[in-house]
Amino acid sequence: MTGYTVADLQEIDARCREIASADLGFDVPEVIYHLVRPEEVYFAAANGLPARYSSARWGAQFDAEYGRYQRGESRIYELIFNTSPVHAYLMEGNSLVAQTLVIAHCLGHGWVFEHNRWLGAVDRAIMPRVLAAAERIADYMSAHGRERVEDFLDACHAIAIHQPQAQLIRPAPTPEPDVREGPYDALFPDEVEAAKRRAEAERRELRRRFPREPEQDLLGFIERHARGLEDWQRDVMSIVHAEQGYFLPQLRTKLLNEGAAVLCHQEIVQRLFLPADRYWEYEALNSGVVAPHQGRVNPYNLGIAIMREIIRIATEPDDEERERWAWAGEVEPFEQVRTVLRTYDDEALLREFLTPKVCEECRLFAFEHLPRDPRRIRVSSREADAVREILIPQHSTFGIPRVEIVDADFRGRGELLLAHRHDGIGLDAEYACGTLAQVAALWGKPCTVETVKGREADTPTWFMGHPDGRAEELGERPS
C-alpha cells in the first residue's frame, strides 16, 4: 500500500458521509469497499458484475481494456455495483487523495442506487443468483464442452438486450373487431350479416395469431417457445436474459448517475479543506475526470454540467426560468437535485435540462459523417435544438433498434418473423445477417426480419438467417 492503511480509508469514508448527510442531504446506505489489484478491477469491469459466469466475451474485453491500462492509456479508479449492500472496488496503489475522491464519488452513486426509481427497480439481491448461475454454467461447460457453451452464449448475448425497456408503460392490446348494432340494421339484413361474418373471421384470425401482440422480449420469447432446446440451453438463456435485465436501468441512467457522483465528490472534497498540495492533486484528478472528450460526449462532463444547471436555476434563475419552473429560485438547491435524481432517467433529464446554456458550457455540437470517409466528421450545428434532436433519442433507445417478434409461425412453418420498428433508418445489412444466423440457431428454424434499406425509408427489405449459419438479404417478402 502507498502510505495509508485500511483505517485511514475508513476515516475518510466516515468524514465524507458526515458532509454528504449534513450539507447535501445524501444519507448514503452502507458501501462495502474492496481494495483490489488493478487486474481484478479490470476483470470485474469487463464482466459487469463480480464473479459472473466465465466467458471468452469478458476475456476479450478484459484483454483490450487491461492492455490499455498497462500501456498507460486508461485508468479505472473505481468500480461500483448496484447491489444491496453496495460493493465498490478501489484500486490498490492509488494515492490517498485519489482514494478520497473515489470514496466521495461512490457515495453519490450509492445514494442514487438506493433512491432512483429506475435503479431501485432491479433485483439488488442478484449476487447469490449470479454466483449460482456461474457454477451452473461451469458445470455445463464441463459436461457439454466449453466451446459449445461459448457458442451458445454468443448467440444469446447477440439479442439479450432486446427486452422491454420501460415496464411502466404497457401498450394496449389490439382490440378485437366487432360489429356494433345500429338502429337501421333491420333495413339491411344481408349487409349486417356479411359484416358480422367478416368480423368473426378477423377475430378468429387475431386469436390464433402467435404471439398475440408483438413481442419485444426476443430472448425471453425464444426461451419459452423454442422447440428442440436442451434443458441446459434453456437455463443458459434464462441466465443471460436475467442478468441483461439487471443492466438495462443502468444504461438509461448513466448521465444522471455520473452527474450525481461527480457533484457529490466535488462538493464533499471542497468541504474537506485539504492542505494545498493535496488539494492541487485532487484538482488535477477531478479535471481529468470531467474534461470534455474531443469529438465525443463525456458523460461525466455533461452529467455534472446538468447538475450545476439545476442548482443554478434553483438559486439564480432568470425571468424566463421562473416562468417555466415553479421551484426556480424558491427551493433549496440540493433538495431539487435530490428530487430529480429520485425520479428521472437520462431521457427526461436531457429533455428538461439540456438547455442552451448547458450546450454552450459543454461545447456540444451536432455532426455528420463525411460520406466518403465515415471516420471523419463535419460539424453541422452548434444550436441547442440540433444537439437535442440527436442526443435525446440516443438516450431514450441507447441506439438499440427496436426489433419485435410479430409471427412465430411464419409461412406456416414455425419460422420466426421479426419486424424492425424503424424511424427512417434500416438495419445494417452485415450485422442483420450475422445476428439472424444466431437467432435462427437458437430458434432452430429460419428467422426473417423486415426492415428498410439503409436510409430509404420507403424501400422495405428482408433478411433471413438459417440455423446452419447462412444468411441472406431478400428483395421481396418471403412467401
- Near another protein in 387-446, by CB under 8 A: 387, 390-391, 394, 398-401, 403, 420, 425-429, 431-432, 434-435, 437-438
- Give yes or no for residue 247 binding another protein (CB under 8 A): yes
361/409 with CB nearer another protein? 361
Q: Which residue has the cell 430458434?
A: 443
Q: Phi/psi zone of residue 411: left (φ > 0), alpha (ψ -120 to 50 degrees), beta?
A: left
Site string for another protein, 127-156 (x = CB under 8 A): -------------------xx--x---x--
327/398 with CB nearer another protein? 398
We find the least distance from the C-beta atom of residue 58 to another protein, in angstroms, to be 5
- At 344, list the grid cell: 428521472
Type of residue found at 399: G
The residue length of the chain stands at 479
We find the least distance from the C-beta atom of residue 155 to another protein, in angstroms, to be 8
Taking a C-beta distance cutoff of 8 angstroms, is the pair 346, 255 a contact? yes
Q: Phi/psi zone of residue 79: left (φ > 0), alpha (ψ -120 to 50 degrees), beta?
A: beta
68/203 with CB nearer another protein? 68
213/383 with CB nearer another protein? 383
Burial class (CB in 10 A: 0-12, 13-18, 19+), 122: middle
Sign of the torsion formed by the C-alpha atoms of 344, 350, 356 and 359? positive
Residue from 117, 124, 157, 271 that binds another protein (CB under 8 A)?
Answer: 157
Nearest to 175 by CA among 198, 208, 207, 201: 207
What is the footprint of another protein within residues 278-307 (CB under 8 A)?
A: 292-298, 301-302
Site string for another protein, 30-49 (x = CB under 8 A): xxxxxxx--xx-xxx-x-x-
DSSP state of 120: H
121/400 with CB nearer another protein? 400
Helix (H) / strand (E) element for 69: namely helix 56-70
Whether the bond into 85 is cis, omega within 30 of 0: yes
Residue from 26, 77, 89, 111 that binds another protein (CB under 8 A)?
Answer: 89
Taking a C-beta distance cutoff of 8 angstroms, is the pair 445, 415 a contact? yes
83/336 with CB nearer another protein? 83
36/206 with CB nearer another protein? 36
Question: For another protein, how many residues bind (rule: CB under 8 A)?
Answer: 104
Taking a C-beta distance cutoff of 8 angstroms, is the pair 263, 104 a contact? no
What is the footprint of another protein within residues 326-385 (CB under 8 A)?
A: 362-371, 374-382
Q: If DSSP codes are grouped into helix, strand and coil, which group holds residue 220?
A: helix
Burial class (CB in 10 A: 0-12, 13-18, 19+), 14: exposed
Q: Which stretch binds another protein (CB under 8 A): 55-63, 204-212, 257-265, 341-349?
A: 55-63
We find the least distance from the C-beta atom of residue 69 to another protein, in angstroms, to be 11
The whole-angstrom separation of Cα 34 and Cα 31 is 10
We find the least distance from the C-beta atom of residue 348 to another protein, in angstroms, to be 18
- At 120, list the grid cell: 431501485
Site string for another protein, 175-214 (x = CB under 8 A): ----------------------------------------
We find the least distance from the C-beta atom of residue 317 to another protein, in angstroms, to be 26
321/397 with CB nearer another protein? 397
